[in-house]
Amino acid sequence: MKATPEATVFRNLESARDKFEPCELAIGNFDGVHIGHQELIRRTVTSASANDLVPAVLTFDPHPAAIVAPERMPLAIVSLAERLRLLSVLGIRQILVLPFTAPVARMTPEEFVKDVLAGPLRARAVFVGENFRFGAHQAGNAATLRDLGEAFGFATHFLPPVVYRGEVVSSSATRRHLLAGNVDRAARLLGRCFSVKQPVVQGHGIGSKQTVPTLNIKPAPGQVLPRGVYVTETVDTDDARRWPSITNCGVRPTFGGDEVTVETYLLGPLDGETPKHIEVQFRHFVRPERAFPDAAKLKEQILRDVAKAQTYWRRAAGSGTRLLRYT
pLDDT tens digit sequence for 67-80? 999 999 999 999 99
Q: What is the pLDDT of residue 211?
A: 44
Q: What is the pLDDT of residue 44?
A: 98
* More confident site: 291 or 247: 247
**238 to 81, 90, 162, 219: CA distances (angstroms):** 16, 22, 34, 18
* More confident site: 49 or 254: 49
Question: CA-CA distance, 73 to 92, in Å (whole number)?
Answer: 27
For 267-291, b where at least 16 C-beta lie within 10 A, e where not — what string?
Answer: beeeeeeebeebbbbbbbbbeeeee
pLDDT tens digit sequence for 244-276? 999 999 977 655 566 889 999 999 998 889 999
Question: CA-CA distance, 157 to 168, in Å (whole number)?
Answer: 19
Confidence band, pLDDT 50/70/90 cuts, at residue 206: very low
How open is the CA angle 8-13-17, to the nearest 5 degrees? 75
Q: Give the pTM.
A: 0.91
What number is the average pLDDT over the span 203-225? Answer: 73
Paired strand residues for 277: 199
269 upstream amide cis, omega within 30 of 0? no
Q: What is the mean pLDDT of the chain?
A: 92
pLDDT tens digit sequence for 81-98? 999 999 999 999 999 999
The contacts found for 159-166 with CB under 8 angstroms, 24 or more apart, are: 159/39, 159/40, 159/43, 159/127, 159/128, 159/129, 159/130, 160/129, 160/130, 161/36, 161/129, 161/130, 161/131, 162/35, 162/36, 162/39, 164/35, 164/188, 164/189
Residues 6 or more apart in contact with residue 260 via CB below 8 angstroms: 218, 219, 225, 227, 249, 250, 251
- Answer positive or negative: Cα dihedral of 288, 289, 290, 293: positive
pLDDT of 117 strictly over 90: yes
Closest residue by Cα to residue 230 from 177, 308, 318? 308
Task: Answer yes or no: are the C-beta atoms of 175 and 224 closer than 8 Å.
Answer: yes
Q: What is the pLDDT of residue 326?
A: 44
Paired strand residues for 123: 23
